[in-house]
A and B are shown apart, each in its own frame.
Chain A
Amino acid sequence: MLTRLGPMLAIGLLTAPVAFGLAGTVLPAFGYLPALGGMEFGLAPFATLFAEPAILMSALMSLVTGLVTAAISLTAVMLFTAAWGGTRLFARIQHLISPLLSLPHAASAFALAFLIAPSGMIARLISPELTGWERPPDLLIVHDPLGLSMMAGLIVKEIPFLLLVTLAALPQVKPARMRALIASMGYGRISGFVLGLWPSIYPQIRLPVFAVIAFATSVVDVAAILGPTTPAPLAVRLVNWMNDPDLSMRFLASAGAVLQLGVTAAAILIWIGFEKIGARLRDRVACAGRRLRRDSGLRWGALAAMLVSAGAIFAGLLALGLWSVAGLWQYPDLLPARFDLRNWMRVLPSLVEPLAITLFVAFISTLVAVVIAILCFVREDEMGYPPGRGALALLYMPLLVPQVAFLFGLQLLFILTGVQATMAALVFAHLVFVLPYAYLSLKDPWRAFDRRYDQIAAGLGKGPVERFFQIRLPMLARPLLAVAAIGFSVSVGLYLPTLLIGAGRLTTITTEAVALASGGNRRVIGIYAFMQMVLPAAGFAVATIVPALIFRRYRDMHV
């Protein structure tokens, strides 16, 4: 009985907030919001929107950011997997990159900013010897008008994500055998992979790629840290209007959110066009039988791209850590003259509350998400068949619809029902984003569980509850905790849901960190960004150490 609740809760949690939220955004966009005196439908909010300076420029910036981010990160992942898949180097790089997945977007954006800014680590490394700079040059590297550093910030973060989903899809195409087969026909590594294997991998990772496009077209935190300001990308401007004390700005913000929905949809449609062109091109090359064996340049290039993107974040994180304990640090010295814990001492008192909220919301939303995901899988086992494609598309709903587009409406709904800025509302909003990740990452380990253990236990006279708690749960302890760590890191990194639903009264480490971005106090930013990095890492450490300790006596329970 209980298990029947699982799918119902999951579907409700994934669709209701998005559906109600969209309604709550679209209605005010057309002038209807009785609470603020909007009683009649009309296009006035859109007229105001298009009268805003450079609004189309902002929209175009968002569109291009989404497409460029997806194209570059996907190409890097594809070429890297093509060129190095199955080698030991590939496994090493994979281990190097996968921790970056749990890093909040804001933290990686800060890391990049601390690296490439005119006063950042790279400039310090080569100054004054190569550049002659004795003081930070007046260059707009971060916040550059073309949005290049914003795109870079997104790309370094999406590469680990796309690499992970590619790796999950890879085994189904039997890569080792297929590679050998294609190589025996004389194809180069990269061309063989792109022509022979990629066409069966790509359809499996298509939804995650769309999710990347949707995220990058509507990102707020990374854009606030690295993105252009004149004009800012669309979503950043929307959030500013939304947070305006003048409540009538909500009409404008809602109209903007509808535009954002259109921009994201347009980006995905254009991407589908790219897919078609790509497929054509691929067929052409394949039919011509081009072997393209001389690909060593591309192979090393792909490796370099992965190393640079991962290296940039690690170096940036190091810089963040240094700043958090830096005393006097003059330009262009590579290292601080003194290290000092006083920064931490000063910040600590104001860090405690956001930290407590971050931990509480992450714990509860993860716990609920994992329980719902388990109920869904148990129900699936009872039914004997997995959910259809429709259900999987539902899972991606909160990841495919731009966050601003439904969070505005959801916030409105919470205001009207008087639950805005309550813990329950915040946990609920986080749950919408944590649940898809919990479900998707538990799917493979759950299905890989050998059902015969269950049958044996049943043969020993054990009922379903006993079987679940004494066999399934302990045997899946490791993957379950890993899934929990993923959910935890997703929650820690959520910016916009926290900002809008917490309404500035409930803040987390991530919202505090992004709020500090404009202030430019590097020591304080360093501390908050450092915490952002440490929390998910701590989650994964717990997920690794706890089962290792509990099951230390049992060898087959180790990895």
Chain B
Amino acid sequence: MFERKRDLTDAGLFIDGVTIALEGREIVSLTKRVAPGEVLTVMGPSGAGKSTLLAYVGGFLDPVFSARGRVFVAGTEVTALKPEDRHVGVLFQDPLLFPHMSVGGNLMFALPEAVRGRAARVERVAHALEGVGLAGLEARDPATLSGGQKSRVALARVLASTPRALLLDEPFSKLDAELRAQTRELVFSKARESGLPVLLVTHDAADAEAAGGDIVRIGE
């Protein structure tokens, strides 16, 4: 019984009494558990502060906000850690590929140091690109890719860094309808495959529906 409970606490993403306020006005207050492979969707009108929750988990909340509460990722409290030590990957609505690196360079940059040796790293990058259906595009300049391809490289990049949780900040909102459904499917299936807890922020009900997990509404 005890063992089982410990498991639940440890695995996935645990948002423990997180409260975020701006100038004394509370905008988010949440306690929620997200199991590995599951998606928690945060919905609300634009300007409601949905992204602040995401920023708090990621460790880059703007200092104008005041926040308290703890966040655990895979049993580790990350709230006290620097963003780079949290192992929490982010996807924004823009792919934000580094424009001064090739597609392969972007993925190489993301790959953990623990993957040693040139050959092993090249191999991992090739594999990651293959996983998003972009095999062989290593040498390409990101600027020459289509919008859908860029999103997929961004996904491959964040997965290559072997995160323990995934934060999605309206990552599909700039894609057209068809591409959107495809990309959404790819992201969720990849997250499930890797057993990543996902925190999704969106104002699109279709995203929430496709995610299939719990929905939290804020700012209403």
Residues of A bordering B, CB below 8 Å? 383-385, 450-464, 467, 470-471, 474-475, 477, 551, 553-557
Question: 28 A-B residue contacts at CB 8 Å?
Answer: A383-B63, A384-B62, A385-B64, A451-B60, A452-B92, A453-B98, A454-B60, A455-B55, A455-B90, A457-B84, A457-B109, A459-B88, A459-B161, A459-B163, A460-B89, A461-B85, A461-B161, A462-B84, A463-B82, A463-B84, A467-B84, A475-B98, A551-B100, A553-B141, A554-B102, A555-B99, A556-B141, A556-B142
Counting chain B CB atoms within 10 Å of each CB, the highest count among A450, A453, A467, A554 belongs to A554
- Asked if B30 is at the interface of the complex by the 8 Å CB criterion, the answer is no
The answer to whether B100 and A458 have CB atoms under 8 Å apart is no
The answer to whether A556 and B99 have CB atoms under 8 Å apart is yes
The answer to whether A459 and B90 have CB atoms under 8 Å apart is yes
Q: Mark B122-157, 1 if CB is under 8 A from A, else 0.
A: 000000000000000000011110000000000001
- Given the known inter-chain contacts A455-B90, A475-B98, please indicate yes or no for A556 contacting B143, CB distance below 8 A: yes
- Asked if B212 is at the interface of the complex by the 8 Å CB criterion, the answer is no
- Asked if B70 is at the interface of the complex by the 8 Å CB criterion, the answer is no
A425→B143 CA distance, assembly (Å) = 47
Residue of B nearest to A451 (CB): B60
- Asked if B167 is at the interface of the complex by the 8 Å CB criterion, the answer is yes
- Asked if B115 is at the interface of the complex by the 8 Å CB criterion, the answer is no
Please tell me which one of the listed residues B112, B141, B143, B144 contacts residue A461 in the complex, with CB atoms under 8 A apart: B112
Residues of B bordering A, CB below 8 Å? 55, 58-60, 62-64, 82-90, 92, 94, 96, 98-102, 109-110, 112, 141-144, 157-158, 161, 163, 167
With A459-B88, A459-B158, A467-B84 known, 10 other A-B pairs at CB within 8 A are: A384-B62, A453-B96, A454-B60, A458-B84, A459-B58, A459-B90, A461-B85, A461-B161, A475-B100, A554-B142
Residues of chain B with a CB closer than 8 A to A455's CB: 55, 58, 60, 83, 90, 92
Residues of chain A with a CB closer than 8 A to B158's CB: 456, 459-460
A555→B161 CA distance, assembly (Å) = 25
Please tell me which one of the listed residues B59, B64, B157 contacts residue A458 in the complex, with CB atoms under 8 A apart: B59
Report the minimum CB–CB distance from B194 to chain A (whole Å): 15
The answer to whether A458 and B99 have CB atoms under 8 Å apart is no
A456→B84 CA distance, assembly (Å) = 9
Residues of chain B with a CB closer than 8 A to A551's CB: 100
Residues of chain A with a CB closer than 8 A to B167's CB: 459
Residues of chain B with a CB closer than 8 A to A474's CB: 100
Counting chain A CB atoms within 10 Å of each CB, the highest count among B62, B83, B85, B144 belongs to B83
The answer to whether A458 and B109 have CB atoms under 8 Å apart is no
The answer to whether A475 and B99 have CB atoms under 8 Å apart is yes
A450→B102 CA distance, assembly (Å) = 19
Report the minimum CB–CB distance from B77 to chain A (whole Å): 17
A452→B60 CA distance, assembly (Å) = 9
4 tightest Cβ-Cβ pairs between the two chains A and B:
A384-B63, A458-B83, A556-B99, A555-B143
Residues of chain A with a CB closer than 8 A to B94's CB: 452
Residues of chain A with a CB closer than 8 A to B100's CB: 474-475, 477, 551, 554, 557
The answer to whether A456 and B96 have CB atoms under 8 Å apart is yes
Please tell me which one of the listed residues A458, A475, A477, A556 contacts residue B58 in the complex, with CB atoms under 8 A apart: A458
The answer to whether A456 and B87 have CB atoms under 8 Å apart is no
Report the minimum CB–CB distance from A466 to chain B (whole Å): 8
Residues of chain B with a CB closer than 8 A to A464's CB: 84
- Given the known inter-chain contacts A452-B94, A555-B143, please indicate yes or no for A459 contacting B64, CB distance below 8 A: no
Report the minimum CB–CB distance from B104 to chain A (whole Å): 12
A451→B63 CA distance, assembly (Å) = 14
Residues of chain B with a CB closer than 8 A to A461's CB: 84-85, 87, 112, 161
Counting chain A CB atoms within 10 Å of each CB, the highest count among B100, B102, B158 belongs to B100
The answer to whether A456 and B90 have CB atoms under 8 Å apart is yes
The answer to whether B110 and A460 have CB atoms under 8 Å apart is yes
Report the minimum CB–CB distance from B125 to chain A (whole Å): 13
Report the minimum CB–CB distance from B200 to chain A (whole Å): 15
Residues of chain A with a CB closer than 8 A to B88's CB: 459
Residue of B nearest to A467 (CB): B84
Residues of chain A with a CB closer than 8 A to B161's CB: 459-461
Residues of chain A with a CB closer than 8 A to B110's CB: 460
Report the minimum CB–CB distance from A445 to chain B (whole Å): 15
A470→B58 CA distance, assembly (Å) = 20
Residues of chain B with a CB closer than 8 A to A460's CB: 89, 109-110, 157-158, 161
Residues of chain A with a CB closer than 8 A to B62's CB: 384
A483→B38 CA distance, assembly (Å) = 48
Residue of A nearest to B94 (CB): A452
The answer to whether B102 and A452 have CB atoms under 8 Å apart is no
Residues of chain B with a CB closer than 8 A to A454's CB: 60
The answer to whether B83 and A459 have CB atoms under 8 Å apart is yes
The answer to whether A459 and B99 have CB atoms under 8 Å apart is no
The answer to whether A555 and B84 have CB atoms under 8 Å apart is no
Residue of A nearest to B88 (CB): A459
Report the minimum CB–CB distance from A382 to chain B (whole Å): 9
The answer to whether A553 and B109 have CB atoms under 8 Å apart is no
Residues of chain B with a CB closer than 8 A to A384's CB: 62-64
A556→B110 CA distance, assembly (Å) = 20
Residues of chain B with a CB closer than 8 A to A556's CB: 99, 141-143
A556→B163 CA distance, assembly (Å) = 28
Please tell me which one of the listed residues A456, A457, A554 contacts residue B99 in the complex, with CB atoms under 8 A apart: A554
Residues of chain A with a CB closer than 8 A to B85's CB: 461
The answer to whether B144 and A555 have CB atoms under 8 Å apart is yes
The answer to whether A553 and B102 have CB atoms under 8 Å apart is yes
Residue of B nearest to A552 (CB): B141
A452→B54 CA distance, assembly (Å) = 12
Counting chain B CB atoms within 10 Å of each CB, the highest count among A460, A462, A467 belongs to A460
Counting chain B CB atoms within 10 Å of each CB, the highest count among A453, A458, A475, A477 belongs to A458
Report the minimum CB–CB distance from A458 to chain B (whole Å): 4
Residues of chain B with a CB closer than 8 A to A451's CB: 60
Report the minimum CB–CB distance from A215 to chain B (whole Å): 38
A450→B167 CA distance, assembly (Å) = 18
A477→B100 CA distance, assembly (Å) = 10
The answer to whether A452 and B96 have CB atoms under 8 Å apart is yes
A477→B59 CA distance, assembly (Å) = 27
Residues of chain B with a CB closer than 8 A to A459's CB: 58, 83, 86, 88-90, 158, 161, 163, 167
Report the minimum CB–CB distance from A450 to chain B (whole Å): 7
Residue of A nearest to B105 (CB): A554
Report the minimum CB–CB distance from B163 to chain A (whole Å): 7
Residue of A nearest to B92 (CB): A452
Counting chain A CB atoms within 10 Å of each CB, the highest count among B82, B85, B109 belongs to B109
Residues of chain B with a CB closer than 8 A to A475's CB: 98-100
Report the minimum CB–CB distance from B101 to chain A (whole Å): 8
- Given the known inter-chain contacts A456-B90, A460-B157, A460-B158, please indicate yes or no for A450 contacting B64, CB distance below 8 A: no
A435→B90 CA distance, assembly (Å) = 37
Residue of A nearest to B139 (CB): A553
Report the minimum CB–CB distance from A317 to chain B (whole Å): 36
